[in-house]
Amino acid sequence: MAKESSSNNRLFQLVAVIILLAAILVGLVWYYQKTTKPKFDLEAKIPAGVKHIMSIYGVGAGDNFDKPESTALDEDGNIYVADTGNDRIAVFDSNGNSLRTFGNKKTTPVPLGVAVSKNGRVYVTSLMQRQISILDTEGKLIKKVKFTKKEETPLKILINGNKLYITAIGQIMVADMEGNIEKRWGKEGRNLGDYRYPNGIAIGKVGKLNKAIVVSDSNNNRLQILNMSGKPVLYLGQPPKNLKDETLLFGLPTGLTMDDDGHVFVVDTFNHAIRIFDTEGNDLGQLGKQGTADGNYFYPSDIKLISGNRFIITDKWNDRVQICELTVGEAKKATVKKPSH
């Protein structure tokens, strides 16, 4: 009986310790959310240079986005949202009305990048499964393109002409429309022409180049501009020298897009803002601020041009996408908020 009583006491003590640790963990999570997520500010003033048009929070009542990562447009102007936490793609018309959803953990697991071809094929990247899923216009899986090497793990995807341009963990890849890789540029590293988790990618006129590739080399804290042969011709920013480096150009550059005037719009995730550069690489400042109100952002992840000065911003940690008009001339000098370590 004494041994049984001693054993029971140890069991009770173990349970008590587990409960205490669980309570501490819950408290830490609560504290983190309390100190990092902005207060709900529905009536807050929209920052200068940002005109809010519309926000989309999900498919319908009770069916909300879960940390959406990126968006794409089809030929009809419909909006495709990589609803990452829900393992699906959600489609809306240009007015924000839900049209359909497709995908699941088998066909579009934890989707990051999405692109739509002229014939309606949908291309979806999955970091978790190291694959690109190719689906038809109804969302039915056509094929999966698998990758085995870490540096080839696909992140975001862009369609230009009849080619796929894919940012991967340690390189840029070019493929045909069936996903067959034709070119690989760079390797994982810090040197010019190397990459560390590159994210956004766009193609347009840059400086004297009528056609160039702009890449946000995220973990190297810079933009790289490549000619169409994949050779770096210009860069903005540089990899941090150490954790206290005061020369960082961005908090964290992620999604990017270009307008018809050659301006480059870069999501600066840690600064909850959109950074803008002209066609010569001059820093024009930033638009936006941290918040939950319309026109504000909370760790945004992507931006796509609709037309003119109208854009879709993937406001990831506010679980929504916003359509906003951005006025370049009202951008303010950027201040870089460095990540805490």
Question: 77 vs 335, which has greater pLDDT?
Answer: 77
Question: 47 vs 303, which has greater pLDDT?
Answer: 303
Q: What's the pTM?
A: 0.86
Contact 274, 313 (CB under 8 A): yes
Domains and CATH numbers, the chain: 49-330 (2.120.10.30)
* Rounded average pLDDT over 200-204: 97
Helix (H, G, I), strand (E, B) or coil at 47: coil
User: Which of 189, 252, 181 has its CA nearest to residue 222?
Assistant: 252
The whole-number pLDDT of residue 242 equals: 79
* Rounded average pLDDT over 292-304: 97
For 60-118, what is each residue's pLDDT tens digit? 999 999 999 999 999 999 999 999 999 999 999 999 999 999 999 999 999 999 999 99
Strands 209-217 and 198-206: antiparallel
Contact 285, 264 (CB under 8 A): no
User: CA geometry: angle at 39 spanning 33 and 45, to 5°?
Assistant: 145
The whole-number pLDDT of residue 15 equals: 44
The whole-number pLDDT of residue 34 equals: 42
Using the predicted structure, report yes or no on whether residue 233 has a pLDDT greater than 60: yes
* Rounded average pLDDT over 244-258: 92
Please give the C-alpha separations between residue 30 and each of 23, 83, 125, 298, in angstroms, as whole numbers.
Answer: 10, 25, 32, 18
The whole-number pLDDT of residue 279 equals: 87
Round the CA-based radius of gyration of the chain to a whole number and report it. 22
Using the predicted structure, report yes or no on whether residue 210 has a pLDDT greater than 60: yes
User: What band does 334 get if pLDDT is binned at 50, 70 and 90?
Assistant: confident
- CA–CA gap between residue 257 and residue 263 (Å, rounded): 8
- CA–CA gap between residue 236 and residue 4 (Å, rounded): 69
The whole-number pLDDT of residue 267 equals: 98
The whole-number pLDDT of residue 29 equals: 39
The whole-number pLDDT of residue 11 equals: 52
For 266-288, what is each residue's pLDDT tens digit? 999 999 999 999 988 999 999 99
Using the predicted structure, report yes or no on whether residue 16 has a pLDDT greater than 90: no
The whole-number pLDDT of residue 26 equals: 39
For 111-162, what is each residue's pLDDT tens digit? 999 999 999 999 999 999 999 999 999 999 999 999 999 999 999 999 999 9
Using the predicted structure, report yes or no on whether residue 223 has a pLDDT greater than 60: yes
The whole-number pLDDT of residue 17 equals: 46
